Amino acid sequence: MRTLIRAIAVVFVLTMPLPPLAAQTQPRQQEEFTPIDQLPPQEQLPAAPLLVGAYAFVLLMLFGYLVMVSRRLSAIQAEVNRLDADLKRAGKG
């Protein structure tokens, strides 16, 4: 009798429907693969960060180089002026 009750319980558990949460998370079984030409919008790589990144990189590098060369020029010109003044003073003395 006990064995019969156990067997009925097992059959009942196995045949009872799955809880709704599990049914929602489990993907549907695919029966065929359907090719498409384009990815759906939510799957596509966004273009805007790449575009903005490219423009930002160009402008930052150009500005950085401009600042670097300007500072080099200012430093060299200051040194040339200082040495010129020293030479003139030494010539007078």
Interface contacts to another protein, rule CB under 8 A: 45, 47-48, 50-51, 53-55, 57-59, 61-62, 65-66, 69-70, 72-73, 76-77, 79-80, 83-84, 87
> Closest separation between CB of residue 75 and another protein, Å?
9
Shortest Å, Cβ 10 to another protein:
51
DSSP 1: -
Of 7 and 54, nearer to another protein (C-beta) is: 54
How many residues are given for the chain? 93
With b meaning 16 or more CB within 10 Å and e meaning fewer, what string describes 21-50?
A: eeeeeeeeeeeeeeeeeeeeeeeeeeeeee
Q: Which is nearer to another protein, 8 or 60 (CB)?
A: 60
Q: Which two tokens stand for residue 84?
A: 């010129």
